[in-house]
Amino acid sequence: MPDLFSIDEVGILQQQLSEIFEQEREEIWRETSGAVRTVFAAHRFNDAFGRLGRHPKLIGPVTLLLDGPVYMHQYKINAKAAFEGDVWQWHQDYGTWARDDEMPEPRAMNIALFLDDVTEFNGPLYLIPRTHTQGVIDAGHDRATTSYPLWSLDKDTVARLADQHSIVAPKGRAGSVLMFHSNLVHASAPNISPWDRVIVYLSLCHVDNHIRKFSRPEWIAHRDFAPIEPLENDCLLQLLNKT
Ligand code: SIN
Ligand code: MN
């Protein structure tokens, strides 16, 4: 959904990033270089990102597609910093949510907001179309390649799927939004460009389908299964009047 959020709305969120990235807290994971990789659960400690987590432009479409109320399973800001942002290996998100969190079914989706222009240069997501129809594919637990452990697919599987379905890399201006099914196979390459690529992901799950196993920290796999009540359409812009 190109340009779903305005320049002003993106600016309000962008402005918060440097302050968030400076914080030392367990929710902030760094690349081996020290650059911020992922900020988990910023909706809990930052007002603007809190509002984004209840934004009707994000909650609305997912509620429609999942056919009922949703809760926040995971919330992350992936920084993919210029020159430093590291690879995300090929994986399915639901593969992790099923194995680590015992989420019963893939009745969960990602909806992602680009906070920078995403181009062919700065590490866009790579998606293999139609792989969401394949269920959970065999994967191995990769704890070594990056600072963040992930259930990733082997090379032969990715080669077979990509031969069959090809690969797409959605690009767009800051403010654009991308939704994808939790079983869709995806990855992203390191960002060797001089441009940051910040994307915020809300992983939303139908409330009936909440996780059953609490093995990961609650700020990675949330345990508040209450339905999200969306705010007003101008909930971010209201912050402009506050300052
Ligand atoms: C993810 O797969 O969760 C993140 C990938 C990315 O932000 O590039
Ligand atoms: Mn993922």
User: If you ran DSSP here, which 8-state letter would residue 93 be given?
Assistant: H
pLDDT at 206: 98
203, 93 contact by CB (below 8 A)? yes
115, 13 contact by CB (below 8 A)? yes
What are the angstrom distances between the C-alpha of 132 and each of 8, 10, 70? 34, 29, 20
Question: Exposed (0-12), middle (13-18) or buried (19+): which is 58, by Cβ within 10 Å?
Answer: buried
Tens-digit pLDDT profile for residues 152-199: 999 999 999 999 999 999 999 999 999 999 999 999 999 999 999 999
Q: Is residue 147 over pLDDT 80?
A: no
Tens-digit pLDDT profile for residues 50-80: 999 999 999 999 999 999 999 999 999 999 9
How many Cβ atoms sit within 10 Å of the Cβ of residue 26? 10
Compute the distance between CA of residue 125 and CA of residue 144 in angstroms, rounded to an integer: 21
Compute the distance between CA of residue 206 and CA of residue 66 in angstroms, rounded to an integer: 6
pLDDT at 193: 98
- The alpha carbon of 92 and the centre of ligand 1 are apart by a number of angstroms equal to 10
| Choice from 39, 148, 186 to test ligand 1 binding pocket (greatest atom count within 8 A of CB) | 186
Compute the distance between CA of residue 139 and CA of residue 153 in angstroms, rounded to an integer: 5
The beta strands (E) that lie in the chain are given as 28-30, 36-40, 70-78, 88-91, 108-114, 125-128, 140-142, 150-152, 177-181, 185-188, 199-206
Q: 191 in ligand 1 pocket by Cβ < 6 Å? A: no
Q: Which atom number of ligand 1 is nearest to the Cα of residue 188?
A: 8
Give, using CA atoms, the residue closest to atom 3 of ligand 1.
Answer: 93
Residue 199 bridge partners (DSSP): 78, 114
**What is the average per-residue pLDDT within 131-149?**
86
At the topology level, CATH places domain 7-242 in Jelly Rolls (2.60.120)
Provide CB contacts within 8 A for 40, sequence distance 6+.
Answer: 27, 28, 29, 74, 75, 76, 219, 220
Q: Is residue 219 over pLDDT 70?
A: yes
Compute the distance between CA of residue 34 and CA of residue 22 in angstroms, rounded to an integer: 11
pLDDT at 78: 98
- The alpha carbon of 11 and the centre of ligand 2 are apart by a number of angstroms equal to 25
Q: Which atom number of ligand 1 is nearest to the Cα of residue 201?
A: 3
User: Model pTM?
Assistant: 0.96
Query: Average pLDDT of the chain?
Result: 96
pLDDT at 243: 60
pLDDT at 52: 98
236, 10 contact by CB (below 8 A)? no
Q: Is residue 143 over pLDDT 90?
A: no
- The alpha carbon of 243 and the centre of ligand 1 are apart by a number of angstroms equal to 33
pLDDT at 146: 67
pLDDT at 228: 98
pLDDT at 12: 98
pLDDT classification of 242: cutoffs 50, 70, 90: confident
Q: Is residue 112 over pLDDT 80?
A: yes
Tens-digit pLDDT profile for residues 77-93: 999 999 999 999 999 99
**What is the average per-residue pLDDT within 12-36?**
96
Q: Which atom number of ligand 1 is nearest to the Cα of residue 123?
A: 8
Provide CB contacts within 8 A for 159, sequence distance 6+.
Answer: none
Q: Which atom number of ligand 1 is nearest to the Cα of residue 76?
A: 3
pLDDT at 149: 76
125, 169 contact by CB (below 8 A)? yes
